[in-house]
């Protein structure tokens, strides 16, 4: 897990650049205003965060002084320790994740001390905004979906939005115990409502996508959830549903089999214990 590298910066617009950090193939973005420089997501460890800061300094001669983390998964925010001296933002529920034991264990596995896990200073509940100089940055949390701390970063002037893992391009959508599948399609609808139809959407992993792609992924999640609901109400237990997913394959299930398994486990847990859909 320790082989870190970062690709060169590729331009998305004149002031937005994208690089890919390994080993998690996670998108890292930098946005240049006239006064401030924003980093979106920080890599998987404090060392990676520092390497990203260096890379921006060397390539562009400018210093990152604003950081937003799109959600509380380690490949997006464990690099934050390298930015302790600048203004940092994330959704408020990241704090909860930061204080559970799981991340401390993960930090140790990745080879650094859990004390280096840094919580952003500015915790956003539903929305926030700040200015980079000629560039307004809007932060929106539309409720639980991929995780409970997903934060969309929208640049209205550039017509670019960073959506973290709410959308995926390089592989199937990622479902985990902290995902909420029932509300996820509605969250994508809110993103589509927020942005213009020409907006470039930057997923957490993979190439930039457009609104049509987002709506297609929205439908996949929605169809999947309805399918699982139907199985469950027809009396299928989790194990039977998993066997069904395996025998149906991708003809019926929108995701590949390993993603479908994860998503089915997640959906069954969610349906057994419905969560509030309006929490912020
Ligand atoms: Zn994630």
Which domains are assigned to the chain?
A: 5-209 (3.60.15.10)
Length of the chain, please? 280
Full-model pTM: 0.93
CA of 35 to the centre of ligand 1 (A): 30
pLDDT value at position 9?
97
276 pLDDT higher than 50: no
Neighbours of 243 (CB within 10 A): 12
What distance in angstroms lies between residue 202's CA and the mean position of ligand 1's atoms?
A: 14
How many whole angstroms separate alpha carbon 230 and alpha carbon 208?
A: 33
CA of 232 to the centre of ligand 1 (A): 27
pLDDT interval class at 234 (50, 70, 90): very high
**How remote is the CA of residue 252 from the centroid of ligand 1, in Å?**
25
67-81, 122-136, 145-159, 256-270, range with the lowest pLDDT: 256-270
111-139 mean pLDDT = 95
Q: Ligand 1: distance of its center to the CA of 174 in Å?
A: 7
| Mean pLDDT, residues 47-51 | 95
Ligand 1 centroid, distance to 39 Cα (angstroms)? 17
Average pLDDT over residues 113-126: 92
Residues 170-179 have a mean pLDDT of 91
Q: In the predicted model, is pLDDT for residue 1 greater than 60?
A: no
Q: Flag whether pLDDT at 280 surpasses 80.
A: no
Confidence of residue 2 (pLDDT cuts 50, 70, 90): low
Output Rg (C-alpha) for the chain, integer angstroms. Answer: 19
Distance (Å, whole) CA 201 – CA 29: 12
């Amino acid at each position: 897990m320790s082989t870190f590298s970062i690709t060169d910066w590729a331009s998305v617009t004149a002031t937005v650049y994208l690089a890919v950090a390994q080993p998690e193939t996670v998108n890292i973005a930098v946005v240049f205003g006239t006064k401030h420089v924003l980093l979106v997501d920080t890599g998987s460890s404090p060392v990676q965060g520092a390497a990203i800061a260096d890379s921006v300094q060397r390539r562009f001669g400018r210093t990152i002084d604003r950081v937003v983390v799109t959600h509380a998964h380690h490949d997006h925010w464990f690099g934050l320790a390298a930015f302790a001296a600048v203004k940092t933002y994330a959704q408020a529920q990241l704090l909860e994740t930061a204080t559970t034991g799981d991340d401390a264990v993960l930090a140790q596995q990745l080879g650094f001390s859990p004390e280096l896990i840094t919580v952003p200073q500015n915790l956003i509940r539903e929305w926030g905004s700040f200015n980079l100089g000629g560039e307004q940055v809007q932060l929106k949390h539309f409720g639980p979906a991929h995780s409970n701390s997903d934060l969309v970063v929208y640049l209205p002037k550039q017509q670019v939005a960073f959506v973290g893992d709410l959308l995926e391009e390089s592989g199937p959508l990622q479902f985990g115990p902290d995902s909420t599948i029932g509300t996820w399609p509605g969250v994508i609808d809110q993103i589509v409502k927020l942005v213009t139809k020409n907006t470039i959407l930057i997923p957490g992993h993979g190439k930039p996508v457009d609104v049509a792609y987002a709506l297609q992924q929205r439908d996949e999640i929605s169809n999947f959830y309805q399918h699982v609901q139907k199985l469950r109400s027809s009396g299928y237990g989790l194990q039977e549903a998993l066997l069904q997913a395996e025998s149906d394959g991708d003809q019926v299930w929108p995701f590949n089999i390993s993603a479908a398994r994860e998503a089915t486990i997640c959906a069954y847990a969610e349906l057994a214990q419905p969560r509030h859909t309006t929490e912020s």
